[in-house]
Amino acid sequence: MKTIIYFVRHGAVENPKNRVYGRLPGFPLSKIGREQAKKLAEYFSSHKIAAVFSSPLTRARQTAIPIAKSLHLPLNISKMIIETDVAGWHGMTLAERERTFEFKIYKESPTQFLVGNETLEQTGKRVARFCQIICRKFGGREIIAVSHEDSIRLGRLYLLKKSIDLLHHLQISKGEFVKFEFDQSSKLVKTSKPFTP
């Protein structure tokens, strides 16, 4: 039997000053983000979901709470699916970030990128480990994990044994999800294109 993880990217964020928020506290969902969370909750309410997980960051939790409520399930928080570590950019405007040498590396050669205490490969590895734990605990069932774009993309690449330099080949917009399908041996056998409810 296949195990399915629906990896949801959190909804749109209230960020009027266009700051790089990464793992900073705060930064709740915007009005659009709350609407996206509501639509996700409505979409998944008819699914047979065994558990709902979320990154501990505010924007992810606020996306996950309506989903969990619609399914009458508790919300589980996991640091294993938290945002990538971009501490070196925290507080910069997006325009300031884009002028840094590190941003050029991030866009052109992600394998070499580091502005925090975790490489992108390490991010992919921890998300992949989360998936393996889920497969062991919830084998043959469906779960939802609300996370962040790069964490989802990096976990996918790590599980598929593909280069991190392919990071930008998959774009996941806020409020979209990607379906990961695992076989009985916990091997990732299929991923969907990003889907907007």
144-172 burial string, b = 16+ CB within 10 Å, else e? bbbbbbbbbbbbbbbbeeeebeebeeeeb
Question: pTM higher than 0.85 for the full model?
Answer: yes
Every domain of the chain and the residues it spans: 3-191
- Predicted confidence pLDDT, tens digits, the chain (197 residues): 899 999 999 999 999 999 999 999 999 999 999 999 999 999 999 999 999 999 999 999 999 999 999 999 999 999 999 999 999 999 999 999 999 999 999 999 999 999 889 999 999 999 999 999 999 999 999 999 999 999 999 999 999 999 999 999 999 999 999 999 999 999 999 999 999 99
Q: Which residue has the tokens 């998944």?
A: 44
Q: What is the tens place of the pLDDT at every residue in 91-113?
A: 999 999 999 999 999 999 999 99
Q: Which CATH number fits domain 3-191: 3.40.50.300, 3.40.50.1240, 3.90.226.10, 3.20.20.140?
A: 3.40.50.1240
Q: Which residue has the tokens 């052109």?
A: 108
- CA–CA distance, 101 with 99 (Å, rounded to integer): 7
